[in-house]
Structure formats: C-alpha cells, structure tokens
Amino acid sequence: MARQNFSQKLACLLALADIEIGGSRPWDIRVFNDDFYPAVASRGSLALGESYMDGWWDCPRLDQFFFRVLRAGLDDQVKSWHWLYDALKARLCNLQKPSRAFTVGRHHYDIGNDLYRRMLDRHMIYSCGYWEEAETLDQAQEAKLDLVCRKLRLQPGMRLLDIGCGWGGTARYAAERYGVEVVGVTVSTQQAVLGKEQCRGLPVEIRLQDYRDLNETFDRIVSICMFEHVGFKNYATYMKVARRCLKDDGLFLLHTIGSNRSQTRTDPWIARYIFPNSMVPSTQQISAALEGVFVLEDWHNFGPDYDRTLLHWYKNFHGAWEELQNSYDEYFYRMWKYYLLASAGAFRARSNQLWQLLLSPAGLLGGHRPARHRPASDS
C-alpha cells in the first residue's frame, strides 16, 4: 500500500510536467522495479540518478524528460534530507579548500583520456561550444576559442594564463593562432600529461597546480569552465588571485556555467558521481566577488548553446561505446548517459546558463565594444 501511494504521488507530480509513467512518448518513463518509488520519495534526485544507473527505470529521451521536469519546477517540489545535509555541510565546511583541490581531478578528469578523446572535438575542449554560425562540434568549439581570443584582444608576444587549462586545447589554439606564450594550470594528472604532449614545440607550459599557488604576472587571463570547482567560500580569493596575476592594463575572461539562484550546494547525484565539491555560481555571488577587484566590461550569456554541445558529446560517446566498453562497464555507460542528457535538458529548460565575463582591473579607457561575431574578412 505504501509503495502504491508513492507511485500515485509521483504520477501526479510528473503529470504537472506532462510526463506519464508507462506512457509511449519519448519523454515518458517506464519503471521496472517498484523500489523506485519509495527511493525517490525519500532521497530525491540522488535516488533518481542511482536508480537509473541500476536499471530500475528508463526513458527514450532523458534530455526531454529533464527539460520538462525542470521547466515545470518539479525539482523544487522534491527535496530530501540529503539535500538539507549537503547544504549544511557546504555552509559549515570549505569543500574546495586547498587540501581538496585535486579531488575532482582524480574523480572526473583522470578517468581516461580515451573517453574524452572520443567524446570531444579535435581540440578536446570540454566546455560549451559557440553555435551561432557553426554546423559541427569542431566548428562550434573553434568559434568559441576564437571568440575568447578576440574578446581578450590577444596580440603576438603577450603572456596568457589559462586557469583550468584542460588538455591544453585553448593554450595550443592561442599560441598557434595568436602568437602568445601560455601558462596553463590544471588539477588533473591525466590532463597535464596529454596537454604537455599536445602542446609540444609551442611556447606553452602546462602545470599540475592549484590556482591559489599562482603568483606571477600575465598580460591576459582566461578561465574556461573551471570556476564551477571554486566554491562560494573561495570566490573572493579566486578573484584576488586573478587580480594579483594580471597586469594593470590586462583583461580577464571568465567562462562559467551559471545558476539562476544563489546556492551553497550542487545536486547530490552530480556531487557524488560526476563533480565532487562542485558548485554553480549565481550572478549575485559572482558580482559580490568582483566588487572592488575588477570592473565588469561585458557579460555574455549563450547558455542554450550548451544543450546542443552536450547532445553532440552524447552522440560521440554513444557512437564510440563499442570501443569504450573494453575499459568501462554498463553501469558507467548509464551514469555517463544520464549526466550528459540530464545536463542538456537543464540548459534547454534555462535552469542553467553559460556566461562569459570580460573583466579589467580599472576599466578600459574609452570603454569596450563587445565581440560577438567574427569579422567579415575572417569568415
């Protein structure tokens, strides 16, 4: 009887998002284990993800399912004690303190360069592409890299710091196309190894280093999808580190996923299985950290482009599974599929944003004209 009550309540909740249990539409779900209902009722999103990984339920199009769930605001109606515990833990502890800095590197980025080689574009850029004029993933990522370099006004001979450099794709692009010298830092051993290999012969140095240990001067700074690992207790420190490393006439481009509301925790399933100690910042949190440190020159939102990027990553991952399954099991496949498609749904629902902020120490004399499109001569 209790399970029946749980199933009825969940069915009524999902109906608010036009989702049926046992329906035939792509976003409807099928439940194969009745333990699914009490688990989700008691443990919320953590149980939703874990039960999917265990094969207790399925859905033809997870991205459409999560788009509807989030657009209808159902995530606000299903909270569990795990959510409260995580929120309290984040407030009481600095989950991203220096001793924890390399945790996400080991847990997420070090799981295998073979996976990322097959999933990502040829530059191995693990962040949102820029799709305004692009038709392929390679084109979208190259357009994003070019957009970043033009916003920074890179010139030959400049020294660029890349905080969270990944596998060196941005550093390599900037060195080859704009003639700059680059120092990239990452907390992933595997990224550092492959990044050094991919940037061999270029004026690029890839370091395994926490951003807080940086203390040297650069003409420009870029940070692409690393700020999500900084944590709200460290936002002010992060900005101060960037400022002490940037010349007085320099520019800093911050590229980050953004949240519509200020939070002190991430989704429990994401925190446990994908990005430990992560947190998506809000406009208020970023602005507070900037105050008195940087002048905001430009704030660019192209969050919907992440939906398309994630769908391409999933297509590549799924298409390469015959090769990848020699190194990863079916449980991992369902976990990674859930991560990519749930994320796509979140960006489609506009629950998550993608922001690029251009910052200067004292304000650019004469102001800044935002770069959005490639000059006609470059097309």
Which CATH number does the domain housing residue 164 bear?
3.40.50.150
Give the per-residue pLDDT at 370. 80
Give the per-residue pLDDT at 85. 45
How far is 121 from 118, CA to CA, in rounded Å?
8
**In a shared domain, residues 150 and 18:** no
Residue 94 maps to a domain: no
Grade residue 98 by pLDDT with cuts at 50, 70 and 90: low
Residue 95 maps to a domain: no
Q: pTM of this prediction?
A: 0.92
Grade residue 84 by pLDDT with cuts at 50, 70 and 90: very low
**In a shared domain, residues 167 and 262:** yes
Grade residue 105 by pLDDT with cuts at 50, 70 and 90: confident
Answer whether residue 28 shows pLDDT above 60: yes
**In a shared domain, residues 70 and 116:** no
Domain that includes residue 19, residue range? 2-79
Residue 201 maps to a domain: yes
**In a shared domain, residues 36 and 172:** no
Q: Which residues, other chains included, contact 99 with Cβ-Cβ below 8 Å and sequence gap of 6+?
A: none
* Tens-digit pLDDT profile for residues 222-231: 999 999 999 8
Give the per-residue pLDDT at 78. 59
Give the per-residue pLDDT at 367. 87
Residue 92 maps to a domain: no
Share of the chain above pLDDT 90, in %: 79
**In a shared domain, residues 170 and 42:** no
**Sheet strands (E) in the chain:** 30-31, 57-58, 159-163, 181-186, 204-208, 218-224, 246-259, 295-301, 352-360
CB 143 within 8 A of CB 129: yes
Q: What are phi and psi of 241, to 5 degrees?
A: -65, -45
Grade residue 185 by pLDDT with cuts at 50, 70 and 90: very high
State both tokens at 148.
């970043």
**In a shared domain, residues 202 and 328:** yes
Residue 223 maps to a domain: yes
In whole angstroms, how far apart are CA 191 and each of 86, 188, 269?
Answer: 29, 5, 24
**In a shared domain, residues 69 and 120:** no
Answer whether residue 379 shows pLDDT above 90: no
Answer whether residue 14 shows pLDDT above 60: yes
Answer whether residue 118 shows pLDDT above 60: yes
Give the per-residue pLDDT at 41. 87
**In a shared domain, residues 107 and 75:** no
Q: Give the mean model confidence (pLDDT) for residues 333-339.
A: 98
Answer whether residue 96 shows pLDDT above 90: no
How far is 374 from 379, CA to CA, in rounded Å?
7
Grade residue 62 by pLDDT with cuts at 50, 70 and 90: very high
How far is 142 from 138, CA to CA, in rounded Å?
6
Q: Which residues, other chains included, contact 140 with Cβ-Cβ below 8 Å and sequence gap of 6+?
A: 121, 129, 130, 131, 134, 305, 308, 309, 312
Angle value at C-alpha 361, between 355 and 363, nearest 5 degrees:
85
Answer whether residue 1 shows pLDDT above 70: no
Instruction: Give the torsion sign (CA, 205, 211, 217, 222).
Output: positive
Place of tokens 């509807």: 68
Domain C-terminal end among 79, 112, 133 = 79
Q: Give the mean model confidence (pLDDT) for residues 191-206.
A: 97
Residue 93 maps to a domain: no
Grade residue 217 by pLDDT with cuts at 50, 70 and 90: very high
Average pLDDT, the chain: 91
Give the per-residue pLDDT at 77. 60
Residue 177 maps to a domain: yes
For the chain, what is the domain count? 2
Give the per-residue pLDDT at 92. 43
**In a shared domain, residues 156 and 39:** no
